[in-house]
Amino acid sequence: MARYHPEDELLLEYAAGRTDWAVSICVAAHLHFCPSCREQVAKFNRIGGHCLEQADKVDVPEDALNSVMAMIRTESRGEKAPNPTKAAPAVKPAFQQLPPVIQKLIPDSGKVRWSFVTPALKAARLETGQDKYEVCFHRIKKGGTVAEHDHNGRELTLVLQGRFSDENGTYSVGDFLMKQPGETHRPTATLDQDCLCLSVQEAPVKLTGLVGRVINPFLRVRPG
Amino acid sequence: MAIAPGSTNIVASTTMREDEWSQLLARLATAGDEGVFARLFRHFAPLVKGFYLSNGGLTPESADELVQEVMVKVWRKAAGFDPRKSSASTWIFTIARNSRIDYLRKHASNEAATSTLESEDIWSEGTDNPPFVYLQQSLDQRDIDILLSELPQEQRECLFKVYLEGKSHADLAEELNLPLGTVKSRIRLGLSRLKSAVNL
Contacts of B131 in chain A (CB under 8 A): 35, 38
Pairwise CA distance, residues B21 & A58, whole Å: 19
Closest CA to B69 of A172, A67, A25: A67
Q: Measured between alpha carbons, how far is B164 from A132 in angstroms, rounded to an integer?
A: 24
- Residue A175: predicted pLDDT: 97
User: pLDDT (tens digit, 9 = 90+) per residue, A123-140?
Assistant: 999 999 888 899 999 999
Residue of A nearest to B94 (CA): A45
**Stretch B123-142: mean pLDDT:** 57
Per-residue pLDDT at B146 exceeds 80 = no
Question: Among B37, B71, B90, whose Cβ lies nearest the Cβ of A49?
Answer: B90
Per-residue pLDDT for A161 more than 60?
A: yes
Cβ A128–B117 below 8 Å, yes or no? yes
Exposed, middle or buried by CB within 10 Å (0-12, 13-18, 19+), for B21?
buried
Mean pLDDT of chain B: 78
- Our CA-based measurement puts residue A216 at a distance from the nearest CA of chain B, in whole angstroms, of 24
pLDDT surpasses 70 at B11: no
On whether the CB atoms of residues B168 and B196 are closer than 8 A, the answer is no
Chain A interface mutation, best of B43, B55, B62, B163, highest count of A Cβ atoms under 10 Å: B163
- Confidence tier at B6 by pLDDT (50, 70, 90): very low
Contacts of B199 (CB under 8 A, 6+ apart): B137
Interchain contact, B3 vs A66, CB within 8 Å: yes
Structural domains present in chain A: 8-54 (no CATH), 93-218 (2.60.120.10)
Tell me what pLDDT residue B125 has: 64
Task: Convert the pLDDT of each residue in A137-153 to its tens digit.
Answer: 999 999 999 887 766 78
Query: Measured between alpha carbons, how far apart are the two ends of chain B, in Å?
Result: 43
Res A167: pLDDT: 87
Band the pLDDT of B86: cuts 50, 70, 90: confident
* pLDDT tier for residue B78 given thresholds of 50, 70 and 90: very high
With beta carbons under 8 A apart, name residues in chain A contacting B181.
none
Answer yes or no: is pLDDT of A211 > 60: no
Mean pLDDT of A198-205: 80
Please give the Cα distance from A85 to B131 (Å, whole number).
Answer: 19
Mean pLDDT of A1-19: 91
Mean pLDDT in residue range A162-177: 94
SS3 state at A168: coil
> Residue A201's beta-bridge partner residues?
A134, A155
Give the pLDDT confidence of B161-184 residue by residue, as tens digits.
777 766 677 787 888 888 888 888
Please give the order of strands across the beta sheet that includes A188-189.
Answer: A169-171, A164-166, A188-189
The average pLDDT across B50-61 equals 88
Contact A56 B144 (CB under 8 A): no
pLDDT of res. A5:
97
CB B124 within 8 A of CB B98: no
The pLDDT of residue B1 is 41
| Domains delineated in chain B | 17-122 (1.10.1740.10), 141-198 (1.10.10.10)
Please report the ipTM that was assigned to this predicted complex: 0.84
pLDDT the model gives residue B14: 45
Q: Which of A55-59, B5-9, B191-195 has the lowest mean pLDDT?
A: B5-9
Q: Give the H/E segment covering residue A165.
A: strand A164-166
